[in-house]
Amino acid sequence: MKTQDWKNLGWSAALLVVAALLPLTNDGYLISLGVSIAMYTVLATSWALFSGPTHYISLATAAFFGIGTYVMGSGIEHLPYWVLLPIAGLIGGVIAALVGLATLRLSGVYFVIFTLGLAEMTRQAVTWYQNQTGHKGTYVLTELTDPDIYWQLLGLAALVFLLGWAIGRSKLGFALRIIGDDEDVARHVGINTALSKIALFVVSGATAAIVGAMIAPRYIYIEPATAFTPMLSFQVVIMALLGGTGRLWGPLVGVIPFTLLWEAISSSFPNQTTLLLGLSFLAIVYLLPGGFVGLYDRLRGRAKKRSAMA
């Protein structure tokens, strides 16, 4: 590793420690904001690991999140909490692999539509199963509090960042970047494009499932409508794009301002939330096409040019 890598790692670790201190403020409101930010950071970053380099827009986040929620909901009576987290990840990963095998040959808009349908399909499957078995409500009653959930999400975020960093340096990451630039070229130089895409899709699916399992104790009462809400998929995409998917830290700088903006809108204009949110989206798309990462790169490029001129 280069000195620069060590320096980045050090900075990241320091930031993580600072973030982990948030619950010490003992401010419930800040902590619940923190849970939101941590949750979307994990989801958006893992989403960008797959969609960033490949340019495949996946709207399946809600499907995997919901699967994780239901793994926790149906398993908590029988198995310890800590066992259920990896099980949720495993199930999410296996389903992502199956879905990936079936669909990653699709390109562009077909893939988007399929992933959007996936959340609804999974939701219907869960409902069908409950209906067949005469289900009487799913409850996840635990002793876990918001700070516990926050720390868990933070830990998961650290893992996702490490994984993303490792993938970025590996052959796999290189292969994915080539696929993103031109899939035909990638295939011609001997890259197994399907396998590379599936591998990353599995990572993001498993991660979303684990997040769902971690959030389940917070909702306590699990309903298909809240576990599989399609809004989640869209929010993750918007946050990741706002930040920019070109860099590992991109989604993070999208998640934080977006969550704060959302918060400001819903607290100041409770009756016009959706309207103002729509306007913000328009503004983001028009003013920040490459997200914050794009803006940063443009500004840096301009600064470089200027210093070169001088």
Which spans of this chain sit near another protein (rule: CB under 8 A)?
A: 27-29, 31-33, 35-36, 124, 127-128, 130-131, 134-137, 139, 141, 145-146, 215, 218-221, 223-226, 229, 231, 263, 266-268, 270-271, 273-274
Residue 287 phi/psi, 5-degree rounding, is -90, -25
In a 10 Å sphere around its CB, with 0-12 CB exposed, 13-18 middle and 19+ buried, how is residue 245 labelled? buried
**Closest distance between another protein and the C-beta of residue 215, in Å?**
8
Which residue number, 51 or 233, has a Cβ lying nearer to another protein? 233
Alpha carbon of 99 to those of 55, 92, 105, 110, 259: distances in Å? 17, 10, 11, 13, 30
Q: Collapsing DSSP states into helix, strand and coil, what is residue 301?
A: helix
Amino acid at 277: L
222 DSSP β-pair partners: 138
56 close to 104: Cβ distance less than 8 angstroms: yes
In a 10 Å sphere around its CB, with 0-12 CB exposed, 13-18 middle and 19+ buried, how is residue 10 labelled? exposed
Which residue number, 36 or 196, has a Cβ lying nearer to another protein? 36
**Closest distance between another protein and the C-beta of residue 228, in Å?**
12
Which residue number, 147 or 246, has a Cβ lying nearer to another protein? 147
CB contact set of 160 (below 8 Å; sequence gap of 6+): 42, 45, 46, 49, 207
**Closest distance between another protein and the C-beta of residue 251, in Å?**
19
Which residue number, 27 or 181, has a Cβ lying nearer to another protein? 27
**Closest distance between another protein and the C-beta of residue 41, in Å?**
15
Token readout for 102 is 């079936």
Token readout for 267 is 């607290």
Q: Collapsing DSSP states into helix, strand and coil, what is residue 59?
A: coil
Which residue number, 190 or 270, has a Cβ lying nearer to another protein? 270
Give the per-residue SS3 of 146-169. Answer: HHHHHHHHHHHHHHHHHHHHHHHH
In angstroms, the CA 156 to CA 170 distance is 21
**Closest distance between another protein and the C-beta of residue 95, in Å?**
21
Which residue number, 134 or 190, has a Cβ lying nearer to another protein? 134
H or E element that contains 222: strand 221-222
**Closest distance between another protein and the C-beta of residue 26, in Å?**
10
**Closest distance between another protein and the C-beta of residue 267, in Å?**
6
**Closest distance between another protein and the C-beta of residue 34, in Å?**
11
CB contact set of 203 (below 8 Å; sequence gap of 6+): 46, 49, 50, 93, 163, 167
Which residue number, 39 or 71, has a Cβ lying nearer to another protein? 39
Which residue number, 146 or 297, has a Cβ lying nearer to another protein? 146
